[in-house]
């Protein structure tokens, strides 16, 4: 699978999981919370998850990648909501 097919597959999966894409180019997809996904130009799908520019998990399965991202984005959102209301009384 070439990089353009990997990218299209990933973009469809991200949309299915309701994960917003900020920007997409041929080698990288930028998401919220400083997440990015680097696409490898290999015969088999390979996705490198980056957070704040640092390499994180590596995935060959787009569903597992999107599930991982969705869980972490939801957790970050939940913590943010709790922290924003923590000082209010």
Query: Among 41, 43, 7, 2, which Cα is nearest to 25's?
Result: 7
Q: What is the pLDDT of residues 37-89, one digit of tens each?
A: 998 777 777 899 999 889 999 999 999 999 999 998 887 666 655 555 555 55
Grouping H, G, I as helix, E, B as strand and the rest as coil, residue 6 is: helix
For the chain, the 3-state helix, strand and coil shares in percent, each to the nearest 5, are 45, 25, 30
Task: Please count the structural domains in the chain.
Answer: 1
Domain span at 36: 3-86
pLDDT over threshold 60, residue 34: yes
């Amino acid at each position: 699978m070439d990089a353009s097919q990997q990218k299209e597959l990933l973009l469809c999966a991200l949309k299915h999981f309701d994960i917003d894409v900020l920007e997409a180019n041929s080698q990288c997809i930028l998401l919220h919370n400083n997440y990015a996904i680097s696409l490898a130009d290999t015969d088999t799908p390979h996705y490198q998850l980056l957070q704040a520019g640092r390499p994180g998990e590596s995935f060959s399965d787009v569903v597992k990648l999107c599930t991982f991202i969705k869980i972490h984005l939801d957790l970050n959102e939940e913590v943010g909501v709790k922290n924003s209301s923590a000082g209010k009384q």
